[in-house]
Structure 1
Amino acid sequence: MSEISPTTVIGISVVVPSFNQGRFIDETIRSLLDQNYPNLEILVMDGGSTDDTIERLKTYGDKIRWISEKDEGQSDAIVKGFARTSKPWITWLNSDDVQSNRALWRVNEAIAANPNAEVVIGGAHYMDADGSNERPYPTIDVGPGIDVKREMFEKGYVAQPSIFYTRALYERVGGLNRSLNFCMDYELWTRFALSDAAFARVDADISGNRWYETTKTAAQTLDLYAEVLATQKRFFGKVSPYYVQAVSDHLYTKFHSPFFGDQKHLLVRWIYFKALWVVFNAPSPWYCGMGLFRYTLAKSGPAIGDAMTCGDWYRGFKSFLRQRFI
């Protein structure tokens, strides 16, 4: 990939919120510095770590800035960090995630190709705590002819370290919602879309997102879903099939499967889905009623374009009868 001349490189500020992530912080910071991007500002907002994070931060000298003080959580740290940075484009990178494939340069190229862009979104991957077991992170579609508002409602998945936006847009929509602990990113992206911001895309994997048992989203999944559902209802007045199934599958796995196994799992999952559809969408009677008949399970878990068909149900029913009576 060719590099854009440094005279045309846009300025990017990256805030790194961190608390007791000494085992990951070096890899996170190196993933930024090793890109040799000449117009980069890195500010680590540490929440008063008691591990070796501060000692590690000191080794970078003037290559980064860092502040260690108590905060009111991740959202608060990010808001304060953005207020203390100065570049026209901004993002945050959690202290256990990384950027990949020269992300900053690719974002810069996307901006050069789309001068009116206010948001740039790239691809990403999940990985385990040690960086292994990479698997794709699904990403919404953006670009000419794409309804980003609909994408945000129906799907909503964007890898947070793979999205960059102008400071002007961030301030125009009111900044990050400090009251949210889990889906402050999705809520912000939704406000971007509803404000008719101009989106551009990087067709490359530009970040790695760690997923392990003690991550906030993995350990408190129901709390995450609660915030997402509240966000969808506040902005759209309804909940999309994707998130209804995400919650129903989670509840099925948590409360049903451990006790009853996978016996009749398709039927039980379907019941969970339909029941929650009504619970979540009852305040929108027309959407609720139409969706009750129109929408059903996705075969491979929450996914778009993978819904069960009548043929799938028929083949499953025949298989059930053969196993039961033959």
Structure 2
Amino acid sequence: MGSQTGATLTRASILIPVFNQERYVRECVDSALAQTAADCEVIVVDDGSTDGTPAILQAYGDCIQRVRQQNQGVAPALNHGLSQAKGAYVAWLSSDDLFLPEKIERQAQFLDENQAFDLVYTDFYEIDGDGTVIRDVRSPWYANQAEFTRALLRNNFVNGSSILARREALERVGGFDTGLRFQSDGTTWFRMLAHGAFGHLPLPLVKYRWHAGNASHRQSARLRRDMGAYYDQALAINPIERLFRDRLERRGWRAEAERDIGDILAYRQLYGRAAQRYLRSLALEPASVRTTRSLAACALRAARQLMRAA
């Protein structure tokens, strides 16, 4: 893949989707404007805010590009911003998060020097509503891309605000996934991984805010309801032969793979889907004690889940 940088391209586009975030959006935008990388554009997509957010954004004048739309959610807002972007690289910054000043510069240099990667993500600081650092989160990375995808399936460790992606790679998969309101980042990563690879810069270059008002916290119940649909889509994007392509020469790989997927689904408390995978595994390897025990434990947890819901 050739370099995307050139005279007709902006170095990077920073996309900030925002909805009713008057408390934090000014600090967020300031962190985007404070980047040490030359030639960055900041595109803020106001997703129908009804608080003081529009007035705050208007005060920036020509320092940012402001776009307004009816409330549709994060992924449509990102795609609206992507349609306006001129950068060779694209970053996503949630409106309550913060970039450290060297984030874009360091990541753009990484992608310049590592053409095999379509996206690079970083570690991050988790902060509270007042900006106090709670913890330093070190994100994993796996050189084996099949192993990487399986690990991502178990737990989405690619923080959206930490990414910098090649714009052409995002456009190739149709931008951010609008199919799920609160899980669009994970399915977007899987669609990109079907065509390329992700790199990791082991530096905390983002402050990710965890507070009572953010979507991850506020929508926890909706997230749980969406989890089943998310995994259905993720597994459709990643057929078992692709997900376990590094094991195809191993004897009994498919039975093991079905069980491993069952383990992931059981970890996510999707017990019905997990049981189906365990049964597929047992159909291929009926004598597996491990899979039989996993299926029994899954059935017990499912029963307890039903009792709690009753």
Query: What band does the TM-score fall into relative to the shorter chain?
Result: 0.7 to 0.9
Is 1:152 paired with 2:152?
Answer: yes
Q: Give deviations 1:171-223, integer Å, cap 9, x for gaps.
A: 2222222231111001101112223x132221101111111122222122232
Q: Provide the residue aligned with 1:282 in structure 2.
A: 275
Q: Is the 8 A contact 1:110 1:201 kept in 2?
A: no
SS in 2 for 1:244: helix
Candidates 233, 244, 259, aligned match of 2:266: 244
- In structure 2, the CA distance between the partners of 1:29 and 1:155, relative to structure 1 (3 Å rule), is same
Q: CA deviation at 1:10?
A: 7.2
- Alignment RMSD: 2.9
Q: CA deviation at 1:24?
A: 0.4
Which runs of 5 or more residues in structure 1 are unaligned?
1-5, 249-275, 298-326
Q: CA deviation at 1:19?
A: 1.3
Q: Is the 8 A contact 1:89 1:164 kept in 2?
A: yes
- In structure 2, the CA distance between the partners of 1:40 and 1:143, relative to structure 1 (3 Å rule), is farther
Q: Give deviations 1:98-133, integer Å, cap 9, x for gaps.
A: 112521111022113313321111111221111114
Instruction: In structure 1, give the amino acid aligned to 2:63.
Output: K
Q: Give deviations 1:215-252, integer Å, cap 9, x for gaps.
A: 2221222321333332223332675645633x54xxxx
Alignment of 1:113-152 (within 5 A): 113-137=113-137, 139-143=139-143, 147-152=147-152
- In structure 2, the CA distance between the partners of 1:296 and 1:157, relative to structure 1 (3 Å rule), is farther
Q: Provide the residue aligned with 1:262 in structure 2.
A: none
Instruction: In structure 2, give the amino acid aligned to 1:199.
Output: F
Distance 1:49 1:15 in 2: 16
Residue correspondences, number: 261
Q: Provide the residue aligned with 2:83 in structure 1.
A: 83
- In structure 2, the CA distance between the partners of 1:191 and 1:127, relative to structure 1 (3 Å rule), is same
Q: Give deviations 1:105-163, integer Å, cap 9, x for gaps.
A: 11022113313321111111221111114213352314467732222223322111111
Q: Provide the residue aligned with 1:228 in structure 2.
A: 227
Q: Is the 8 A contact 2:187 2:233 kept in 1?
A: no
Distance 1:220 1:287 in 2: 34
Distance 2:235 2:145 in 1: 21
Instruction: In structure 2, give the amino acid aligned to 1:115.
Output: Q
Q: Provide the residue aligned with 2:216 in structure 1.
A: 217
Q: CA deviation at 1:37?
A: 2.0
Is 1:94 paired with 2:90?
Answer: no
- In structure 2, the CA distance between the partners of 1:229 and 1:138, relative to structure 1 (3 Å rule), is farther
TM-score computed with the length of structure 1 as normaliser: 0.71
Distance 1:123 1:203 in 2: 6
SS in 2 for 1:134: strand
Q: Provide the residue aligned with 2:171 in structure 1.
A: 171
Q: CA deviation at 1:52?
A: 2.0
Q: Provide the residue aligned with 1:200 in structure 2.
A: 199
Distance 2:23 2:166 in 1: 31
- In structure 2, the CA distance between the partners of 1:287 and 1:101, relative to structure 1 (3 Å rule), is farther
Moved more, 152-161 or 282-291: 282-291
Q: CA deviation at 1:57?
A: 1.5
Which runs of 5 or more residues in structure 2 are unaligned?
1-5, 237-257, 283-287, 298-310
Distance 2:85 2:166 in 1: 12
- In structure 2, the CA distance between the partners of 1:291 and 1:220, relative to structure 1 (3 Å rule), is farther
Q: Provide the residue aligned with 1:258 in structure 2.
A: none
Is 1:14 paired with 2:14?
Answer: yes
- In structure 2, the CA distance between the partners of 1:52 and 1:111, relative to structure 1 (3 Å rule), is same
Is 1:41 paired with 2:41?
Answer: yes
- In structure 2, the CA distance between the partners of 1:177 and 1:281, relative to structure 1 (3 Å rule), is same
Alignment of 1:252-271 (within 5 A): none
TM-score computed with the length of structure 2 as normaliser: 0.74
Q: Is the 8 A contact 2:180 2:230 kept in 1?
A: no
SS in 2 for 1:120: strand
